[in-house]
Amino acid sequence: MKPSIHFFRPDGTKPEFYACGDCGLVFSSVEIADECCRPRACSTCGKPIQARGYCRPCSDTKMARRRESSFANARKLTENEWGGPVFDPFGDGESSFHHSLDEALEHYEQEDEKPPRWFWGASRINVAVSQADIETMLENCLSDHHEGAEFHHVDELLQFVKTWNDGQPEHSFHCDETVAIVPADGEAWSS
pLDDT in tens, 38-52: 888 887 888 887 765
pLDDT given for residue 21 in this prediction: 84
For 173-188, what is the mean pLDDT?
Answer: 81
Average pLDDT over residues 73-84: 92
Look at residue 85 in the predicted model and tell me its pLDDT: 93
As a whole number, mean pLDDT of residues 65-92 equals: 91
Q: Mean of the pLDDT values across residues 16-28? A: 83
CA dihedral 138, 144, 148, 150 (to 10 degrees): -30
Query: What does the pLDDT read at residue 121?
Result: 94
Tell whether the model's pLDDT for residue 77 goes beyond 90: yes
**pLDDT at 12 > cutoff 80:** no
Q: Where are the domains of the chain?
A: 1-38, 41-73, 131-166
Q: What's the rounded mean pLDDT across residues 60-69?
A: 89
Q: Is the pLDDT of residue 170 over 50?
A: yes
Cα separation, 114 vs 125, in Å, equals 29
Residue 191: predicted pLDDT: 44
pLDDT(3) > 70: yes
Q: What angle do CA 179, 182, 184 make, to 5 degrees?
A: 130
Strand order in the sheet with 15-19: 5-8, 15-19, 26-27
Task: Give me the mean pLDDT over the 105-134 stretch.
Answer: 88
pTM of the model: 0.59
What's the pLDDT score for residue 165?
87
Q: What distance lies between CA 182 and its chain's CA centroid?
A: 24
Q: Residue 189 above 90 pLDDT? A: no
Range 146-163 burial, b when 16+ CB lie within 10 A, else e: eeeeeeeeeeeeeeebee
